Amino acid sequence: MAKGLKAVFGLGVAALGLAMVPSAASANVCVGDCGVLGADGVVTAPPIGGQYRYVTTIGPDGGGDIPGFAVGEATNGSNFTTSAFEAQAGSTLEFYFNYVTSDGSGFSDFGWAALNGGSGSLTLFTARTTPSGDTVPGFGLPGLAPGVVLDPASTPIIPGAPVWSPLQGSSGLCFSTGCGYTGWIKSTYTIEEAGVYTLQFGAANAVDTIYDSGLAFAGLVIDGDPIDPTPGIPEPATWAMLIAGFGMVGFVARRRRSDMAVKAA
Neighbours of 29 (CB within 10 A): 12
Tens digit of each residue's pLDDT, the chain (265 residues): 443 433 333 434 333 333 333 333 458 999 999 999 999 999 999 999 899 999 999 999 999 999 999 999 999 999 999 999 999 999 999 999 999 999 998 899 999 999 999 889 999 999 999 999 999 999 999 999 999 999 999 999 999 999 999 999 999 999 999 999 999 999 999 999 999 999 999 999 999 999 999 999 999 999 999 998 655 434 443 334 434 444 443 443 444 444 544 445 4
Residues in CB range of 245: below 8 A, 6 or more apart: 12, 13, 14, 15, 16, 17, 18, 19
Q: Are residues 128 and 153 in the same domain?
A: yes
Question: Rounded to whole angstroms, how far apart are CA atoms 151 and 180?
Answer: 19
Question: CATH number for the domain including 144?
Answer: 2.60.120
Residue 25 CA to residue 36 CA, distance in Å, equals 20
102 and 216, same domain (yes or no): yes
Q: Where in the sequence is the domain holding 12, given as residue range(s)?
A: 1-26+234-265
Same domain assignment for residues 67 and 92: yes
Number of domains within the chain: 2
Pair 170, 212: CB distance under 8 Å: yes
Query: Does 13 share its domain with 139?
Result: no
Do 128 and 164 belong together in one domain?
yes
Pair 77, 134 in one domain: yes
* pTM summary value: 0.79
**Is there a single domain that holds both residue 116 and residue 172?**
yes
Tell whether 201 and 242 lie within a shared domain. no
Q: Are residues 151 and 169 in the same domain?
A: yes
| Distance of alpha carbon 246 from alpha carbon 251, whole angstroms | 9
